[in-house]
Structure 1
Amino acid sequence: MSHFEPPINWNDHEDIAMKLYERFGDDFTEAKIYRIRFTDLLEWVLAIPRFEGTKEQSTEGHLEMIQSAWVYEWRDNQK
């Protein structure tokens, strides 16, 4: 039985961070996450299944929030 997952948009920073952590796991440490180029991060976010935002809607603020949320997600999984 599959459950319905709503679409993901730019404001869903925590959901995006979880998807990125699911994809990359511990390949990226906190320091590495903060060094990711925004061009790479943008492409990875756009590749998330059910992500409905567009490249044009992306802002530096969104990408910074996603980076921070990803760091918290990574930290939570180190315990």
Structure 2
Amino acid sequence: MVKQTADYFEEKARAGDGAFAVAFAILELAAAHRKSGAALDRLGLNYEKSDGPPGAGEAIAMELKRIADALGDR
């Protein structure tokens, strides 16, 4: 249903209806926002799933801490 709505809005926007152009732009922006949030979550920067595994950024930070602790023990 959502895809059909987006398609309808895009069709009307490309036909020159300004209100539908704004609505379609908002739909596109919302989709890009969701994709950005998912990408940040995969990097471990969005904290969307607090019970999930650490993302790349978190894993790197934990490894650097482990290395620093090991070096501090010498």
Normalised to the residue count of structure 2, the TM-score between the two structures is 0.33
Higher radius of gyration, 1 or 2? 2
Higher relative contact order (CA 8 A, sep 6+): 1
Normalised to the residue count of structure 1, the TM-score between the two structures is 0.31
Quick check: which one's helix share is greater?
Answer: 2
